[in-house]
Structure 1
Amino acid sequence: MEPYTPRTQTGSRKKNITLSQKEYSKITGTIASVRRHRLHQDDIGEEFSNGRVHSSRHHGRDWDEPSFIAETSFVKAPLNSRVSLGGNTIANHKGKAKQESLDHVPLDVQEAMILEDLLYVLMGIEGEYIRFHQDYSPDEDDPIQGVRFVVDLSLDPSVRNLVERLLPLGTYYTGITAFIEHRSHLDYGLVNHALCAAIRDMLKDYQTLLSQLEHSFNTSPQFSLQKLWFYIHPTVHTLSLIYQLTLQLGTADDPSADLSSSSSDSPSTSDAEEEARNEALGIGTAKLKSALSENGLGSSNAGIAVKGGEVLSIIYERMQNMSGDPTANMVYATLLREAGTPYVSMLKEWVMTGRLVDPYEELMVKESKFINRGILEMDYTDEYWERRYTLRDGSTISGSKGHKAGIPLPRSSGGRLPGGACIPPLLEGWKHKILLAGKYLNVIRECGIEIRRSQNLSDDDEKLSMDDERFYTFLEDAYTHANQTLLQLLLKDQDLIPRLRSLKRYFFLSQSFFLTHLLDLSANELRKSTRSASLVKLQSLLELTLNTEEREDTMFREDVKVVMAGSGLYDWLMKIIIGEGEIGNLNEEKKDHKDDKKPLLASDTLALDYHVKFPLSLVISRKTILRYQLIFRFLLHLKHVEQSLGAMWIEQKTRPWRQRFEKWRQRVFLLRTRMLSFIQQILSFATFEVLEPNWRALEGKLDKVGTVDELLRDHLDFLDTCLKECMLTSAKLLKAYNKLIVTCATFALYAAPYTKSANQAISETETAEGQRRRWEYQLKFEKNFDHWFKVFLDCVQFYASSENGSLLPLVVRLSSISRRSS
């Protein structure tokens, strides 16, 4: 039988019968005749029979008419007696004729009359003596709340007491059927559809019971109100459980609760005036809330229906809260299993093929379709891997907390998230593996490798549910398979390890022949400003340097390119540390270059870039390559200053420096030696105390890596550790080091002026003013170097003892320089 919400109109049920008026009169007359004949034989009461006769004579029917008398199967059909009988319409309240009082009707007749009404009411249909509540309005009341029924006050109290115990069934039934009708719409998603189908199956059992009870009422003289209660009272609890669930599901997304609570307070005069103005402008409260919701400017969860994971969470929570009730546990477990079937099916498709089939946004995983793998070639935030597929609740493997853009707010403070963002409690501990399994397979699919669902699934595997332990074994196996498949693709097919080794060689080996040779060949270009240096020429010199080396990893040399950064390394790092900038694209740096008052030299902005294709770009991503570039520029600058100081030493071995001005010459040589020693100690520390040990640790992890996500995390942790131990992430260390290295670089640039001063001193053309300036420059360099060296050493000692123990070897190295200089 199709459920429907009752209407108060008199002829509402008559309109649903597609018969002519004449046929309708014949049917109702025949049914009334049979009922009168049965009641007369059962001796239920002469007055009751007379009442029915009066009702039928009111329409002038002939009881001897044989039209349907022989059709016993039709007359005795359980539901046909529900048709309204002529003038005794079901909804004749609110100004219509009132039914006769039961004050003077015998008790047994009252029971018989109320039994017939009850069979109507249990199906949500108004009877003669059991009516809708006087406050009920089908146009204003929420149908999911159900219809309240009241009993005629003239009914005997003993009978009315028992009847009132059964009346909630009518409310439950009307509310549940309204929920099914409403939540079966497409917009509510597959989980709601499956839940409605499961509830509908449960209602079929209830309807079958009512049919059997009606048959007993029509055929058994011994059928009584007590027997009806005996058979029906277990169903009251079952329908109550379903009704409470549908009520919670139907009202959880109702935004009118907050509005009604606020509107219940007495508004002030100013509020009333403002509301009047808003209404006059067409932006009253209701219209404004609707407009904000449509444009996504109101509450972030406004308009999000209760669907998907939230439905399953509510069912599971109710089942847990009522775990001591066997009936509740059985009912809710059944509904959870049936409603979760489409959810589990979508999960299986995701973890087995990497395809996200979620037309109603019910699943915990969401896709940002505007992000594609082409972004990896230009976007330093690596959005393809991190943001294309994410969890709707915003959680990450790293466990970062806090509200994020695009993540809906909870229904209430500290409550569950709405819709698909709410992850079923049974899957909370598996959400990251579910996300990663599909992401791994999706990467493989993007490489052109088609993945099909396993054909080895048995019928039992196809019917797995969230309350079955085998389902979680299946998830674990799917995750392991996806992970191993992608690892095999990256490590074996895509030669990831040789790629990482070539990166380390080109970007980290400051003592290698490659870097020294490159600096020697490009010395002239590096002395020019960034704008004047030729990228084409520098790229040619790089290729020449790479071609002179015969190594096993030279097959990747074509992926190395020369680029120019847009700002100085240390200025940019300081902006990142203090939060004014971010590790972004090198092209973004160039925006700051125009504002630089002092032009930068090519040696300060030279960097290497490295290009790889998908899927290696997931591991060697723009985010990781930028970290390689930062370390490379740090080493390159040190190496360049070292060579400049070395060139200064070679120049100072010429003839002019061997004569006279012994004291000044010794001071120059001593300062140059200290600076060169400082540079070499920093280079040696960075190479042998930081980069090499960390690289060996990374290689050890790569040999034992178990998941792709571990691979990504280990690689990124390696680079971040190198940056930290190279002192590129601390503002105090970086500031002192920057001042110190700039002092050394500037001193190296004064090699030619110092030689000129020496020649002047030898030729006796140097004036007293020139001699004073020569010493003034020297003393300034010494004072500046001594000051910042002490500041830098103090900072290194502090951080080595408190935060960064890896700096202890550097403390020893720098202390030796300090002792020698003293």
Structure 2
Amino acid sequence: MDPYSPRTHTTGRKKKIGLSQKEYTKITGTIASVRGHRHRSDHLEVNGDSMGHTSGEGNTKSQNDSSFIAETSFVRAPLNSRVVSTPSAPKSSKGKKRQESLDRVPLDIQEALILEDLLFVLSGIEGTYITYSPDYSPEDDDPLRGIKFVVAPSLDSSLSDLVERVLPLGTYYTAIFAFIEQRSHLDFGLVNHALCAAIREMLRDYQTLLSQLEHAFNTSPSFSLQKHWFYVHPTVHTLSLIYQLVLELAVADDPAGDLSSESSSSEEDEEEAARNEALGLGGAKLKAVLSDINKADVVGGMVGGSGILVKGGEVLTIIYERMQNMSGDPTASTIYGKLLKSAGKPYVEMLRDWVASGRLADPYEELLVKESKFIDRGILEVDYTDEYWERRYTLRDGSISPGSSKRHQAGIPPPRSIGGRLPGGACVPPLLETWKHKILLAGKYLNVIRECGIEMPRDKKYSEDDELSMDYEKFYKFIEDAYSHANQTLLQLLLKDQQLIPRLRSLKRYFFMSQSSFLTHLLDLASSELRKSSKSASAAKLQSLLEVALNNDVGTEDAYKEDLKVTMADSGLYDFLLKVVTVSGVVKAEEGNGEGETKKEKEEKKPLQVIEAMQLDYNVKFPLSLVISRKTILRYQLLFRFLLHLKHVEQSLSAMWANQMTAPWRVPVPTHPEFEGWRLRVFLLRARMLAFVQQMFAFVVFEVLEPNWHALEAKLDKVVTVDQLLRDHVDFLDTCLKESMLTSSKLLKACSKLLVVCQTFVLYSSAFTKSANEAIASAQDPEADPSKTKRWNVLNNFETNFNHWFLIHLDCVQFYASSDNVSLLPLVVRLNSVKTG
């Protein structure tokens, strides 16, 4: 059966061409014979099957009776006649025969034949005289670059020049069609699907044009190659714009990565083969499967090394950049604007759902916001790095705050080698670059509210039917409104419903020992327990003693004191702080200790006493755990342990003073002036130590903690965003740690050495009393005093050590007060009074 209908309206055609009836009959017969020649084998097979013979007469009768005109469904759909039902002959022999046939064909016949071929080529099908390029190979060539067509060299030069102008349409169409077929796969995400749908809609207009051209070719005698060019000329530019976009999307991934992966895999072939054989995975079948997978990854648009498809925000960025670069071309602006709007619809819908309800529906990881599902609110109970708030929802590009150059490095894919863009969803569309942090925070706020069991309804001002696009101002007004609403709702929840300010005041009262005497009661009640080892102490007993001390705290009524509990730290305060401040390795040179000495110190390290390990903990529930997180509680604990140490040393020195009010220290011994001098020196050293500890405690509480707390309260009264609230709270604690000298290794070392000297001095209290009794007993003969030399040696050692470390500490405080920590100036004055005293 001949799949092509003979041309009708011969009378009109004759008048237009200007040929005689005989010449016209000859021309039309030639065209009919050319058409029939393409499927002669198929005709013979069909005739043989239907008529039962293959004689010339039978063939003639079959051609006359079995006409394609009878197939009305195909006549009404002319493009269907472009489909070749049987395999064509080999390209080399077929092309050779066809090219030879044009040498003796008249010019008007050449035009008629080439017009029919063009209808094939514009549909992406090889014609008779317009064939695939000799270099084309379906197996090796990238279909996204399109098929190149060449015209027979025997075609007249005037016609060939015009045909060459039309041929790029075939290349564009095949490339675009291959792009649609490939990127419509599920793995490419919703943005690519929407883009393919928009391009498919544009191709529908192109296919309609082809149908009209074929109808004109079959019915209009005046249809010529010039008219054909007139009709398709505007479409050439339109399809070229889409083709350039398709080509950029196709080459956006990194081809170098594929090459490197191939080379690396070839180097590891032997090792992998041995391992696979040992695991029973060797053989040609496995290699074939792996080869298919690798090939599918390359064809699928995978990035070498990173494995991220060109999808999501990266697709929108490429379209937007092309639209900006070609803004001087009205057609390009229109085409790319339509594609950007259509491709951005699913992206905008995902953003809209995120900022309006806090739900992240991103199955293909296309959005700029990323969720770490393994981090949930339960991790807040044991997390000291605020993973839930900082890492649960993040930006895929790694940026952490507005205007900050820092980025999260973990999990951030490397940029493309071509173009330098981040791949996939990590690429933020330029239109959203300035809004990305508000988009992230809006959804984070809403998620916290949802975790509290409060569902956030959609804003009634923007219904589901409202069409929002990234180039509409209304869309950004929607984001701003959603951000403000989420922020104010969560802020109200924290400050009003969850009573954040009273909670912080409770923390300040107990951890900073402000306006509360419970710590003094606790130290008195637990004096015997505090001298035990931290491993042998009873946590239950300490907790009960804490509750007694809290209940006896006169003038203090706190509804949150039940949330306090006693815990034991694993390491000493100063050892822990030195590890924290020396993470960068800067302090290693300052300490001047080798690794061997550090190991020796660790080996000789004694178990911690309760007083050195005891700390307070504070239970707080979600969502307050976002503000009073484990990270912030750790800061409170460090400040508390420092104050506790100072308070403990102060009480010990005060107890030593009470002990030295007894007879051995107050009985005058005029006959023993040496003992009187020694006793005064002991009193003076104890007084200086007590003054130092009291001045340190007073400075930290009244010069550091109280002023900074009042500054924090003033900020909380004016806070407008949740992020600002979190930042102000952490900044307050960091400032307190810095001004309390807990972030400088030199200050820490000097201060800790001084306090150790004071503690050791207290431990020698009984020895000093024994020496005093011996001196009084030998008052009649001072020269016979057996402990004279020993007590002076001990006292001189304490004085030497205290004066040495005190001067080092004072020098460090003066240095830092004059450089980067002006808040230490009041401490300089206080320490100078101790020095002169």
Checking the alignment, whether the CA contact within 8 Å between 1:90 and 1:127 is kept in structure 2 is no
Q: 2:442 aligns with which of 437, 444, 450?
A: 437
Name the structure 2 match of 1:457: 462
User: Alpha-carbon deviations, 1:776-814, whole Å to 9, x = none?
Assistant: 110011111111111111111111111111111111111
Q: 1:334 aligns with which of 329, 334, 338?
A: 338
Equivalent residues in 2 for 1:582-593, closer than 5 Å: none
TM-fit CA distance, 1:402: 5.3
Mark the runs of 5 or more structure 1 residues left unpaired by the alignment: 1-24, 582-591
TM-fit CA distance, 1:279: 9.8
Q: 2:827 aligns with which of 793, 798, 810?
A: 810
TM-fit CA distance, 1:403: 6.2
TM-fit CA distance, 1:634: 0.4
Checking the alignment, whether the CA contact within 8 Å between 1:308 and 1:419 is kept in structure 2 is yes
TM-fit CA distance, 1:774: 0.3
Q: Is 1:711–2:725 an aligned residue pair?
A: yes
The alpha-carbon distance between structure 1 residues 612 and 201, as it changes in their structure 2 partners (threshold 3 A), is same
Q: 1:349 aligns with which of 353, 362, 372?
A: 353
The alpha-carbon distance between structure 1 residues 386 and 227, as it changes in their structure 2 partners (threshold 3 A), is same
Report SS of the residue matched to 1:131: strand
Q: Is 1:650–2:658 an aligned residue pair?
A: yes
Name the structure 2 match of 1:628: 636
Distance in 2 separating the partners of 1:262 and 1:550: 73
User: Alpha-carbon deviations, 1:234-269, whole Å to 9, x = none?
Assistant: 11111111111111112222x544555999xxx9xx
Name the structure 1 match of 2:417: 412
TM-fit CA distance, 1:195: 0.2
Q: 1:666 aligns with which of 638, 659, 680?
A: 680
Distance in 2 separating the partners of 1:228 and 1:288: 46
Mark the runs of 5 or more structure 2 residues left unpaired by the alignment: 44-58, 275-281, 586-599, 670-674
Q: Is 1:770–2:774 an aligned residue pair?
A: no
Report SS of the residue matched to 1:449: coil
TM-fit CA distance, 1:593: 12
Equivalent residues in 2 for 1:22-33, closer than 5 Å: 25=1, 28=3, 31-32=5-6
Q: TM-score, normalised by structure 1?
A: 0.88
Q: TM-score, normalised by structure 2?
A: 0.86
Checking the alignment, whether the CA contact within 8 Å between 2:102 and 2:110 is kept in structure 1 is yes
The alpha-carbon distance between structure 1 residues 718 and 547, as it changes in their structure 2 partners (threshold 3 A), is same
User: Alpha-carbon deviations, 1:524-558, whole Å to 9, x = none?
Assistant: 21122222322211111110111123657521011
User: Alpha-carbon deviations, 1:589-647, whole Å to 9, x = none?
Assistant: xxx99966322221111110000111111111110001000000000100110111111
TM-fit CA distance, 1:458: 4.3
Equivalent residues in 2 for 1:536-547, closer than 5 Å: 536-547=540-551
The alpha-carbon distance between structure 1 residues 289 and 688, as it changes in their structure 2 partners (threshold 3 A), is farther
Checking the alignment, whether the CA contact within 8 Å between 1:90 and 1:126 is kept in structure 2 is no
Name the structure 2 match of 1:363: 367
Report SS of the residue matched to 1:395: coil
Checking the alignment, whether the CA contact within 8 Å between 1:502 and 1:553 is kept in structure 2 is no
Q: Is 1:531–2:535 an aligned residue pair?
A: yes
Distance in 2 separating the partners of 1:679 and 1:508: 16
Equivalent residues in 2 for 1:265-304, closer than 5 Å: 301-304=305-308
Percentage of identical aligned residues: 65
Distance in 2 separating the partners of 1:167 and 1:760: 118
The alpha-carbon distance between structure 1 residues 389 and 553, as it changes in their structure 2 partners (threshold 3 A), is farther
Letter of the 1:733 partner, please give it.
L
Name the structure 1 match of 2:189: 189
TM-fit CA distance, 1:446: 0.8
Name the structure 2 match of 1:746: 760
Checking the alignment, whether the CA contact within 8 Å between 1:437 and 1:478 is kept in structure 2 is yes
Q: Is 1:759–2:734 an aligned residue pair?
A: no
Letter of the 1:778 partner, please give it.
L
The alpha-carbon distance between structure 1 residues 382 and 261, as it changes in their structure 2 partners (threshold 3 A), is closer
Q: 2:483 aligns with which of 461, 479, 482?
A: 479
Report SS of the residue matched to 1:600: coil
Q: 1:577 aligns with which of 578, 581, 584?
A: 581
Q: Is 1:513–2:517 an aligned residue pair?
A: yes
TM-fit CA distance, 1:287: 6.2
Name the structure 2 match of 1:557: 561
Letter of the 2:829 partner, please give it.
V
Distance in 2 separating the partners of 1:50 and 1:813: 118
Checking the alignment, whether the CA contact within 8 Å between 1:375 and 1:384 is kept in structure 2 is yes
User: Alpha-carbon deviations, 1:38-92, whole Å to 9, x = none?
Assistant: 8668658555423244354954243553866577785364324425499xx7665
Distance in 1 separating the partners of 2:303 and 2:126: 41
Letter of the 1:243 partner, please give it.
Y
The alpha-carbon distance between structure 1 residues 204 and 477, as it changes in their structure 2 partners (threshold 3 A), is same
Checking the alignment, whether the CA contact within 8 Å between 1:373 and 1:384 is kept in structure 2 is yes
Letter of the 1:723 partner, please give it.
L
Letter of the 1:50 partner, please give it.
G
Name the structure 2 match of 1:93: 91
Checking the alignment, whether the CA contact within 8 Å between 1:309 and 1:422 is kept in structure 2 is yes
Distance in 1 separating the partners of 2:408 and 2:722: 27
Distance in 2 separating the partners of 1:299 and 1:53: 52
TM-fit CA distance, 1:203: 0.8
The alpha-carbon distance between structure 1 residues 702 and 144, as it changes in their structure 2 partners (threshold 3 A), is same
Name the structure 1 match of 2:744: 730
Checking the alignment, whether the CA contact within 8 Å between 1:353 and 1:453 is kept in structure 2 is yes
Letter of the 1:162 partner, please give it.
L
User: Alpha-carbon deviations, 1:205-252, whole Å to 9, x = none?
Assistant: 111122222222222222221222122111111111111111111222
Checking the alignment, whether the CA contact within 8 Å between 1:648 and 1:748 is kept in structure 2 is yes
Report SS of the residue matched to 2:715: helix
TM-fit CA distance, 1:184: 0.5
Q: Is 1:54–2:33 an aligned residue pair?
A: yes
Name the structure 2 match of 1:584: none
Report SS of the residue matched to 2:78: coil
Letter of the 1:698 partner, please give it.
L
Distance in 1 separating the partners of 2:474 and 2:463: 12
TM-fit CA distance, 1:745: 1.4
Distance in 1 separating the partners of 2:66 and 2:294: 63
The alpha-carbon distance between structure 1 residues 443 and 402, as it changes in their structure 2 partners (threshold 3 A), is closer
The alpha-carbon distance between structure 1 residues 275 and 120, as it changes in their structure 2 partners (threshold 3 A), is same
Q: CA RMSD in A?
A: 3.2
Letter of the 1:623 partner, please give it.
K
User: Alpha-carbon deviations, 1:747-769, whole Å to 9, x = none?
Assistant: 12221111111111112299655
Letter of the 2:3 partner, please give it.
T
The alpha-carbon distance between structure 1 residues 809 and 304, as it changes in their structure 2 partners (threshold 3 A), is same
TM-fit CA distance, 1:452: 2.6
The alpha-carbon distance between structure 1 residues 688 and 280, as it changes in their structure 2 partners (threshold 3 A), is closer
Checking the alignment, whether the CA contact within 8 Å between 1:91 and 1:126 is kept in structure 2 is no
The alpha-carbon distance between structure 1 residues 420 and 783, as it changes in their structure 2 partners (threshold 3 A), is same
Count of matched residue positions in the alignment of Structure 1 and Structure 2? 773
Name the structure 1 match of 2:713: 699
Letter of the 1:742 partner, please give it.
V
The alpha-carbon distance between structure 1 residues 286 and 400, as it changes in their structure 2 partners (threshold 3 A), is farther
Q: Between 514-523 and 488-497, report the one with greater CA deviation.
A: 514-523
Letter of the 2:397 partner, please give it.
D
User: Alpha-carbon deviations, 1:410-432, whole Å to 9, x = none?
Assistant: 11288111111111111111111
Distance in 2 separating the partners of 1:524 and 1:300: 67
Name the structure 2 match of 1:599: 607
TM-fit CA distance, 1:523: 1.5
Q: Is 1:135–2:135 an aligned residue pair?
A: yes
Q: Is 1:490–2:498 an aligned residue pair?
A: no
User: Alpha-carbon deviations, 1:692-736, whole Å to 9, x = none?
Assistant: 000000001111111111111100000000000000001111111
Name the structure 2 match of 1:448: 453
Report SS of the residue matched to 1:416: coil
TM-fit CA distance, 1:459: 6.5
Distance in 1 separating the partners of 2:624 and 2:427: 33
Report SS of the residue matched to 2:616: strand
Q: 2:816 aligns with which of 792, 795, 799?
A: 799
Checking the alignment, whether the CA contact within 8 Å between 1:308 and 1:361 is kept in structure 2 is yes
Distance in 2 separating the partners of 1:403 and 1:445: 26
The alpha-carbon distance between structure 1 residues 629 and 400, as it changes in their structure 2 partners (threshold 3 A), is farther
Report SS of the residue matched to 1:371: coil
